[in-house]
Amino acid sequence: MEKILFDSHAHINEERFDGCREELCREIGESALAYVMDIGFDLESSVRAVEDAAKYDFCYAAVGCHPHDAKTMDDAALIMLKGLAKKNKVKAIGEIGLDYYYDHSERDVQQYWFRRQIQLALQLKMPIIIHDRDANDDVMRILKEEGVFHTQRTDCFPRHPDGGPDARLLLHCFSGSRELARQYVKLGATISIAGPVTFKKSRKTVEVVEETELSRLLVETDSPYLTPEPYRGRTNKPVFVEHTARKVAEIKGISFEEAAAATCENARRFFAID
Ligand code: NI
């Protein structure tokens, strides 16, 4: 099968896949998926993501602590994350950010470790993957305050093919407005579209896809969460990214193959995978 898809955000390392990970990965190997970015959400899952990347050719890793788990962080864990970030096939710091919907960690704790991990990414000149739920203003403010969009950072990377800056910042499972997407892209960010774009009540995300230049879009599953139609209700898995790419193609008025190839190329460039 031709390899034309890149799932830019999956948690293959999740305990929910224990016992079926081999089968899951064999299925990926036989599918149109060329790459999967395996995303850590705390120190332990980041270790597992790095192990998965070492084991599976298609797999690359991002390491970081999710805002839910910010309360588990300390200086020693940050040093461990830094060590992991330097390992082979680790291509980004993430997912990191703020989640004011669940508030599983105190907001000041979330913000503190969000900043510390942004600083780590800037120091290592690595891409950043953002989780933002009901925290649009604080996420944007902190990214600006930490200098993610400064030329000092954007100059570390080649100009984006659209001629704009490239801040190597990925808004994972983007759920904001088209105005917010426009602001982010202008600053040099890239937008990742997940399964909810296939849902009936997806008007806002459809508008974001309409608004955003194809070269600034990636697709993802966020497996095992956010299963796209027509499999909504089941456990999500990376091969289902096809359905999100099909929806993006439909919105953009291009073929599935074109949308798959473009988002795959975008992701390879974003994560610097040759
Ligand atoms: Ni995630």
Q: Quote the ligand 1 centre to 223 CA distance (angstroms).
A: 7
**What is d(CA 60, CA 89) in angstroms, rounded to the nearest whole number?**
5
**What is d(CA 89, CA 58) in angstroms, rounded to the nearest whole number?**
10
Q: Quote the ligand 1 centre to 11 CA distance (angstroms).
A: 7
Q: Quote the ligand 1 centre to 267 CA distance (angstroms).
A: 16
The CA-based diameter of the chain, rounded to the nearest angstrom, is: 49
**Residue written as tokens 């194809």?**
214
CA 98 to chain centre: 14
State pLDDT tens for residues 24-75.
Answer: 999 999 999 999 999 999 999 999 999 999 999 999 999 999 999 999 999 9
Q: Quote the ligand 1 centre to 25 CA distance (angstroms).
A: 18
CA 237 to chain centre: 15
Q: Quote the ligand 1 centre to 12 CA distance (angstroms).
A: 10
Q: Quote the ligand 1 centre to 222 CA distance (angstroms).
A: 5
C-alpha neighbours within 13 Å on the C-beta side of residue 197: 35
CA 12 to chain centre: 13
**What backbone torsions phi and psi does residue 127 show, to the nearest 5 degrees?**
-60, 155
State pLDDT tens for residues 210-261.
Answer: 999 999 999 999 999 999 999 999 999 999 999 999 999 999 999 999 999 9
Q: Quote the ligand 1 centre to 95 CA distance (angstroms).
A: 7
Global model pTM greater than 0.85: yes
Partnered with residue 107 across adjacent β-strands are none
Q: Quote the ligand 1 centre to 162 CA distance (angstroms).
A: 27
Q: Quote the ligand 1 centre to 174 CA distance (angstroms).
A: 11
Q: What is the mean pLDDT of residues 127-132?
A: 98
State pLDDT tens for residues 160-188.
Answer: 999 999 999 999 999 999 999 999 999 99
pLDDT band at 1 (very low <50, low <70, confident <90, very high): confident
